[in-house]
Amino acid sequence: MTPGPTQVPEESLSLLARQVSHHRTPEFQALFERTTQGLKDVFQTREGDVLLLAGSGTAAMEAAVVNAVPRGEKALCLVSGKFSERWARLCETFGITAVEYAVPWGDPFDPATVRAILSKDREIRAVFTTLCETSTGMGHDIAGISKAIDSIGVTGGTADGFTGEPSRPLLVVDGISAVGAVECRMDAWKIDLLCVGAQKALMGVAGLAMIGVSPTAWKRMEQVPRQAFYFDLFKYRKSAADRTTPFTPPKPLIDALAVNIDALRKEGMEAVWRRTARLAAAARAGFDAMGLPLVPKMPSDAMSAVRLPDAIDTKMFLSIMENRFGVKFAGGQGELSGKIFRMAHFGMIDEFDIIGTLGAIELALHAVGHPVRPGSGAAAAIARLSE
């Protein structure tokens, strides 16, 4: 039940047991085409490209940073937890000045503040942010942040030092834990670079990352000196025209992922988002009934990060969940270490998992000396699911 890695569907798993076949073949080209076209649906883009990278989700984040912003230039990093901090650390690694707008963990960003920072500092080349901050379960308002970027306008005529034209900063989004689970519209929300990893809502095996690139991003990236070899996105664009990747692709992982993407497309992305939202509402109703507060002020439907009472031995709770009930949760990271547990609502997780997990939580709480009214959490979830 962790927010990544998630369980992998049987049909997808069985493909991983097949003999390896070569990747410079028409068969791979067909797989490449099917996968990238499918991902365009998942990313909600018609205009942009989706490229496949070998690596975990962070590979896509690193590719975004090295391709989008020249060394020595500035980027705005929106920091609200463990994962969004990574944007700032990546920028620093590549000699990019990270202007940080940090909020307390679990808080939203205020689009007006983003606007104020950008209108004061016209040298900021890109804004790096996160769809679902997986360390806190916070669902950030990407559409609102995008509008804030738009609102500083290009009409003011401020010259952009490196394109020679007025332009808005690029919007770069880490959608690793929530694209494929919750609403995220690359084109409509003017996302320039969208990073995703296979092992979260896409139900894949870790080791495959994806990055969506808008036409604007391509234009702007042409002005950036190449700072990477393996992660030079122009190499991937060139190969994509031949329906392949520049380096040996993790073909078995792509084979397996394609099955999951086909299933998401068949269901329809809006239906998938509604399904996740329904499970999220049921889980929240359950936590509320048990008196367990959520960490974030605006929870993402992708997952719940839940606070446990101070008196509870969190390690013991997690170990009972795992060893007695076979339910694996993620614990807290950084400042939330030992205080919370994190649970996904996406991928293969269904109504049965939500109800069963809430029941198991009740028994585990009883075992660690914090009894709740038996059935209260599960009953609230069932009531919500019956609506």
Ligand X SMILES: *Cc1c(COP(=O)(O)O)cnc(C)c1O
The contact set with ligand X (CB under 6 A) reads 4, 56-58, 83, 130, 134, 174, 176-177, 197
Q: Which is nearer to ligand X, 177 or 245 (CB)?
A: 177
**Which of 288, 282, 289, 286 lies closest to 385, judged by CA?**
282
Copy the structure tokens of residue 345. Answer: 């609502």
Q: Which is nearer to ligand X, 130 or 214 (CB)?
A: 130
Could you tell me the smallest distance in angstroms from the CB atom of residue 60 to ligand X?
8
Do 306 and 280 contact (CB within 8 A), yes or no? no
Could you tell me the smallest distance in angstroms from the CB atom of residue 3 to ligand X?
6
Copy the structure tokens of residue 4. Answer: 């990544």
**Single-letter residue type at 206:** A
Q: Which is nearer to ligand X, 137 or 286 (CB)?
A: 137
Could you tell me the smallest distance in angstroms from the CB atom of residue 165 to ligand X?
32
**Which of 152, 87, 81, 86 lies closest to 113, judged by CA?**
152
Cβ-count burial 227-263 (b if 16+ within 10 Å, e if not):
beeebbbebbeebbeeebbbeebbbbbbbbbbbbbee
Q: DSSP label at 126? A: E
Could you tell me the smallest distance in angstroms from the CB atom of residue 59 to ligand X?
7
Could you tell me the smallest distance in angstroms from the CB atom of residue 228 to ligand X?
17
Helices (DSSP H) in the chain: which residue ranges? 10-15, 26-43, 57-68, 82-93, 111-120, 142-151, 215-221, 233-241, 251-267, 269-289, 314-325, 351-367, 376-386
The rounded distance, in Å, linking the Cα atoms of 303 and 326 is 19
Contacts of 160 (CB under 8 A, 6+ apart): 166, 167
Q: Which is nearer to ligand X, 38 or 197 (CB)?
A: 197
**Single-letter residue type at 170:** L
Q: Which is nearer to ligand X, 177 or 314 (CB)?
A: 177
Q: Which is nearer to ligand X, 174 or 301 (CB)?
A: 174
Look at strands 340-344 and 303-307 and give their pairing.
antiparallel
Q: Which is nearer to ligand X, 117 or 176 (CB)?
A: 176
Q: Which is nearer to ligand X, 48 or 57 (CB)?
A: 57
Tell me the backbone φ, ψ of residue 318, rounded to 5 degrees: -65, -35
Could you tell me the smallest distance in angstroms from the CB atom of residue 143 to ligand X?
18
Could you tell me the smallest distance in angstroms from the CB atom of residue 122 to ligand X?
29
Entry field: residues in the chain: 387
Could you tell me the smallest distance in angstroms from the CB atom of residue 291 to ligand X?
27
